[in-house]
Amino acid sequence: MAIDRNITIDFELHERQRRIWNDPARFRVVAAGRRFGKSWLGCAMCFDVALHGGRAWWVAPSYPMSNVGWRGLAQIRAQLPGVGIDLRRGERSFAFPGGGEVRVKSADNPDSLRGEGLDFAVLDECAYMKPEAWTEALRPALSDRKGGALFISTPRGLNWFRDLWLLGQLPEQSEWRSWSFKTVDNPFIDPAEIEAARAILPSRVFRQEYEADFMEDAPGALWKRAWLDAGRVLQAPELKRIVVGVDPSASATGDACGIVVAGKDASGELYVLDDLTLQGSPETWARQVVAAYHKHKADNVIAEANQGGEMVTAVLRQVERNLPVKLVHATRGKATRAEPISAVYEQGRAHHVGDFAALEDELCQWEAGDASPNRLDALVWAATDLLQPAGVLVGKPRQAVTAR
């Protein structure tokens, strides 16, 4: 079917989405709360470009997150049965009769984003992407066709997404425009749901996730985003010792069990390799710990014993009889334990291999007195074990008991 290039399809946007849609700025930046309708708007804009013969990419921070875009786009296609849009699952793309195309991509490998001239790019949840995805891959790809971009995300501290958003607030930057919307601005979301979330979430989390506030690091938090970003690497060097830190949980329905894998290199620098924290029965988390131990060829499991030390060892050994487990006891307060580790980050001697969003949020937001931070605890146990014996950490030695 030949397609009329002047086709207009009513994508049924709500009023705030339509404001963004109608704006002529080439680069549009939207900081909005959860469920505002960011992804829906991005899908509609990609389709509009492709309906007019253009090439658009939907880019998500990771492959699993890109499925949101894939499903949203497939849903819109289903609403346009007469248009003849071909869904190409293998290529994760949609081909339009007039030559237009929409492709779904993941930014965790910026190299996969190179090499094609684009008319439009949507960067969904881009506060969770590395800035290089934009600066080195997508921005150049838009150059030959003078393409545009939509940046949509919930905020994540004062990172590069905030910088782009600020650009959009400057009147002299005529190519850029930015908006900020809250979850309640989506008329399709029941306000009672939002109030229910407000009631259970820590206020900082609610402000960031539902009110789209660009939050600075919590004033009393022991880590800063800037340290995490400065130390981030794509690959770890050869590591001398690797451990799995575990902050066990006593019940299946209570706290999550913190599981963080870290190692140190020959010069004593710290590398965080994985965050496999999960909520579940002791058997479930024990399986996860053993899987983490094998996945990273770890030397030892370091588990906090305060929640019933013998139980922790017994549960782990039920999954793997000879698992090397070292139990550690919290004799000092959480913040006191964490301080020497945060100091190692501040000195630039700690590196995250990749991006661990939930762990990093916890590090930069937990303040003494908040509910127990399971990921932070697991990291602190692992890092303390790795760094203390070499005399790298200052302060009193930790009390450790090795389970026999």
Binding interface with ligand ATP (CB under 6 A):
12-14, 17, 32, 34-40, 154, 186, 188
Q: What are 116's two structure tokens? A: 């094609």
Query: Pairing mode, if any, of strands 350-352 and 270-275?
Result: parallel
C-beta of 376: minimal distance to ligand ATP in Å?
24
Q: Footprint of Mg ion on residues 199-238 (CB under 5 A)?
A: none
Q: Footprint of Mg ion on residues 35-54 (CB under 5 A)?
A: 38-39
Q: Give the distance from CA 153 to its chain's centroid.
A: 11
Residue whose CB is less far from ligand ATP, 3 or 30: 30
Q: What are 334's two structure tokens? A: 């959480």
CB atoms within 10 A of CB 178: 22
C-beta of 59: minimal distance to Mg ion in Å?
13
Q: What are 43's two structure tokens? A: 């899908």
Residue whose CB is less far from ligand ATP, 68 or 302: 68
The reply on whether position 249 binds Mg ion by CB under 5 A is: no
Residue whose CB is less far from Mg ion, 38 or 52: 38
Q: Do 382 and 344 meet the contact criterion of CB atoms below 8 Å apart? A: no
Dist. CA 105–CA 57, nearest whole Å: 7
C-beta of 36: minimal distance to ligand ATP in Å?
4
C-beta of 40: minimal distance to ligand ATP in Å?
3
Residue 34 interacting entry, from ligand ATP, Mg ion, none, C-beta within 5 to 8 Å by type: ligand ATP
CB atoms within 10 A of CB 366: 25
The reply on whether position 66 binds Mg ion by CB under 5 A is: no
Residue whose CB is less far from ligand ATP, 35 or 130: 35
Dist. CA 220–CA 268, nearest whole Å: 27
Residue whose CB is less far from Mg ion, 183 or 365: 183
Residue 166 interacting entry, from ligand ATP, Mg ion, none, C-beta within 5 to 8 Å by type: none
- Residue 178: CB partners within 8 Å, gap ≥ 6? 28, 29, 30, 31, 164, 165, 166, 167, 168, 169
C-beta of 39: minimal distance to ligand ATP in Å?
3
Element (H, E) at 325: strand 325-328
The reply on whether position 186 binds Mg ion by CB under 5 A is: no
Residue whose CB is less far from Mg ion, 39 or 365: 39
Using the contact rule CB under 5 A, the part of the chain among 32-40, 106-114, 287-295, 369-377 near Mg ion is: 32-40
- Name residue, tokens 């000195």: 347
Q: Which of 327, 323, 306, 299 is nearest to 386 (CA)?
A: 299
Query: Pairing mode, if any, of strands 148-153 and 258-265?
Result: unpaired
Count of alpha carbons within 13 Å of 140, Cβ hemisphere only?
11
User: What one-character-per-residue DSSP string does 98-122 give?
Assistant: TS-EEEEEETTSGGGG-S---SEEE
Residue 13 interacting entry, from Mg ion, ligand ATP, none, C-beta within 5 to 8 Å by type: ligand ATP
Which burial class, exposed, middle or buried, applies to 203 when counting CB atoms under 10 A from its CB (0-12, 13-18, 19+)? exposed
The reply on whether position 384 binds Mg ion by CB under 5 A is: no
3-class DSSP assignment, residue 323: coil
Residue 70 interacting entry, from ligand ATP, Mg ion, none, C-beta within 5 to 8 Å by type: none
Residue 77 interacting entry, from ligand ATP, Mg ion, none, C-beta within 5 to 8 Å by type: none
Q: Give the distance from CA 290 to its chain's centroid.
A: 24
Q: At what angle do helices 63-78 and 38-51 cross, to 10 degrees?
A: 60
The count of chain residues that interact with Mg ion, using the rule CB under 5 A, is: 2
Residue whose CB is less far from ligand ATP, 12 or 23: 12
Q: Which of 229, 227, 300, 241 is nearest to 270 (CA)?
A: 241
C-beta of 45: minimal distance to ligand ATP in Å?
12
C-beta of 232: minimal distance to ligand ATP in Å?
24
C-beta of 2: minimal distance to Mg ion in Å?
34
Residue whose CB is less far from Mg ion, 39 or 300: 39
Element (H, E) at 209: helix 203-209
Residue 263 interacting entry, from Mg ion, ligand ATP, none, C-beta within 5 to 8 Å by type: none
C-beta of 385: minimal distance to ligand ATP in Å?
37
C-beta of 94: minimal distance to ligand ATP in Å?
18
- Please give the residue ranges that form the binding site for Mg ion (CB under 5 A): 38-39
